């Protein structure tokens, strides 16, 4: 699908971003053009919870690989039906860290009919930070970013388009559920063990970020954080008068014991907790709360833009402005 601005030859395209993550395979379709804001048209999600398919040796088992392949085929069909000009396919921690990752990537690429870009943890953080910066704008100043997925937690900080410092640690909600909260519902000792583990893993990251200026905005950008904000957060006035969601650390900490006492099947009755998040929301809450404590953060402002929008925005920036058409140039000249 082409989009033209009246009076020029600026041409936009319909792009798809396929994010193969630890919890979902998510396709976002958007119309984009140089200098313009991406306009989302379609969102298609397949819930996998890929951590369930990991064998003890760290490989994704046959059932998991087949689920990935089928999800990739569905995404390809949706992209074709939506007349996507180019599909930007990415994979994150669960695929890149699997011991059979190379074989899994080859199967996914075969299903997609194209190459798959496997992002490192810091690259995830940088793409997401870029999207958050664009959402909040230059006037936001120093930003500290928290983003938690199924396999990893990313943090990034800086005042420019891309972060000055970025880190990724294996504290994702799905991974931590399997390793530390296998009981449903988990007991207090399990929750305490997860918190202690997260503190240990985060200690060097806190030291890495210690030289950064005090942030003007601390932002959370993942689906898990948006869910927790709907549960434990509150709306605040936004810059344009529209509400913005904020997740306070104190309120989140108060919810963790309550969440941990509720069986997973009943958690979806709570505000903001969708069926695909019920099993791992406790681990996500514990990790986010522990990270906020470790970084001295009182609250997170929620950004609706994250990794997929970051990939789209970086692609848009690679496009070139087209020259005005001869007809437009002649018309402008005669008017002077």
Query: Which CATH number is 63's domain given?
Result: 3.30.420.40
pTM over 0.75: yes
77 and 111 inside one domain = yes
pLDDT at 12: 77
Tell me, what's the pLDDT at 214?
A: 96
Q: Is the same domain home to 227 and 114?
A: no
Do 59 and 100 meet the contact criterion of CB atoms below 8 Å apart?
yes
- pLDDT > 60? residue 9: no
Q: Tell me what the pLDDT averaged over the chain comes to.
A: 90
- Alpha carbons 160 and 47: distance in angstroms, whole number: 34
Among 103-107, 191-195, 301-305, 312-316, name the one with the lowest average pLDDT.
312-316
Q: Would you list the DSSP string of 247-260?
A: EEHHHHHHHHHHHH
Position 320 scores a pLDDT of: 60
CA distances from 231 to 58, 153, 234, 242, 267 (A): 33, 20, 9, 19, 11
Decide if 99 is inside a domain: yes
Neighbours of 56 (CB within 10 A): 5
> Greater confidence, 9 or 274?
274
What backbone phi and psi angles, to 5 degrees, belong to 315? -70, -45
Q: Do 202 and 256 lie in a common domain?
A: yes
- Residue 238 in this model has a pLDDT that exceeds 70: no
State the pLDDT at residue 336.
Answer: 32
SS3 content of the chain, % helix, strand, coil (to 5): 45, 20, 30
Give 34-87 pLDDT, tens digit per residue: 877 889 999 999 999 888 899 999 999 999 999 999 999 999 999 999 999 999
Residue 94 sits in the same domain as residue 180: no
Asked whether 200 and 302 are in contact (CB, 8 A), the reply is no
How would you classify the pairing of strands 165-169 and 153-158? antiparallel
Domain holding 101, by residue range, is 3-118
Whether 70 is in a domain gets the answer yes
* CA-to-CA dists, residue 197 to 171, 175, 201, 286, angstroms: 9, 13, 6, 11
In a domain, 25, yes or no: yes
Q: Which pLDDT value is given to residue 80?
A: 97
Task: Return the pLDDT at 168.
Answer: 96
If asked whether residues 154 and 87 sit together in one domain, one would say no
| Residue 189 located in a structural domain | yes
Residue 329 pLDDT greater than 50, yes or no: no
Whether residues 162 and 304 share a domain: the answer is yes
Cα–Cα distance, 164 to 28 (Å, whole number): 28
Residue 211's CATH number: 3.30.420.150
**Would you give the distance in Å from CA 264 to the centre of its chain?**
23
Let me know if residue 131 belongs to a domain.
no
161 shares its domain with 278: yes
Q: Is residue 106 in some structural domain?
A: yes
Shared domain check, 292 and 175: yes
Task: Enumerate residues 6+ apart whose C-beta is below 8 A from 235.
Answer: 243, 244, 245, 246
Tell whether 259 and 145 lie within a shared domain: yes
Domain count, the chain: 2
Residues 269 and 304 in one domain: yes
End position of a domain, from candidates 118, 148, 169: 118
Check whether residue 195 and residue 113 sit in a common domain: no
According to the model, what pLDDT value does residue 51 have? 87
Domain contains 331:
no
In this structure, the answer to whether residues 176 and 240 fall within a common structural domain is yes
Higher local confidence (pLDDT), 240 or 278: 278
Q: Is residue 173 part of a domain?
A: yes
């Amino acid at each position: 699908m082409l989009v033209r601005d009246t009076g020029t030859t600026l041409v936009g395209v319909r792009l798809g971003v396929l994010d193969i993550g630890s919890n979902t395979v998510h396709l976002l379709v958007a119309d984009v053009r140089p200098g313009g804001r991406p306009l989302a048209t379609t969102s298609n999600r397949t819930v996998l919870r890929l951590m369930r398919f990991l064998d003890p040796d760290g490989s994704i088992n046959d059932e998991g690989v087949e689920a990935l392949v089928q999800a990739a085929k569905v995404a390809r069909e949706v992209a074709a039906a939506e007349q996507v000009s180019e599909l930007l396919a990415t994979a994150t921690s669960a695929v890149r860290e699997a011991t059979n990752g190379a074989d899994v990537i080859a199967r996914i690429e075969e299903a997609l009919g194209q190459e798959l870009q496997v992002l490192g943890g810091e690259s995830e953080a940088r793409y997401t930070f870029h999207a958050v910066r664009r959402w909040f704008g230059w006037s936001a100043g120093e930003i500290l970013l928290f983003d938690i997925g199924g396999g990893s937690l990313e943090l990034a900080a800086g005042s420019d388009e891309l972060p000055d410092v970025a880190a990724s640690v294996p504290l994702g909600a799905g991974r931590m559920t399997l390793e530390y909260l296998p009981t449903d519902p988990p007991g207090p000792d399990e929750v305490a063990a997860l918190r202690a583990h997260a503190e240990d893993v985060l200690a060097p990251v806190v030291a890495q970020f210690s030289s950064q200026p005090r942030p003007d905005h601390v932002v959370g950008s993942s689906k898990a954080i948006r869910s927790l904000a709907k549960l434990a957060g509150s709306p605040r006035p936004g810059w344009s008068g529209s509400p913005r969601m904020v997740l306070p650390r104190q309120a989140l900490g108060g919810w963790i014991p309550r969440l941990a006492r509720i069986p997973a099947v009943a958690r979806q009755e709570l505000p903001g907790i969708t069926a695909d998040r019920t099993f791992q929301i406790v681990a996500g809450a514990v990790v986010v709360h522990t990270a906020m404590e470790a970084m001295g953060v009182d609250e997170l402002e929620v950004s609706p833009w994250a990794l997929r929008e970051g990939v789209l925005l970086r692609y848009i920036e690679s496009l070139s402005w087209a020259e005005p058409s001869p007809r437009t140039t002649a018309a402008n000249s005669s008017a002077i």
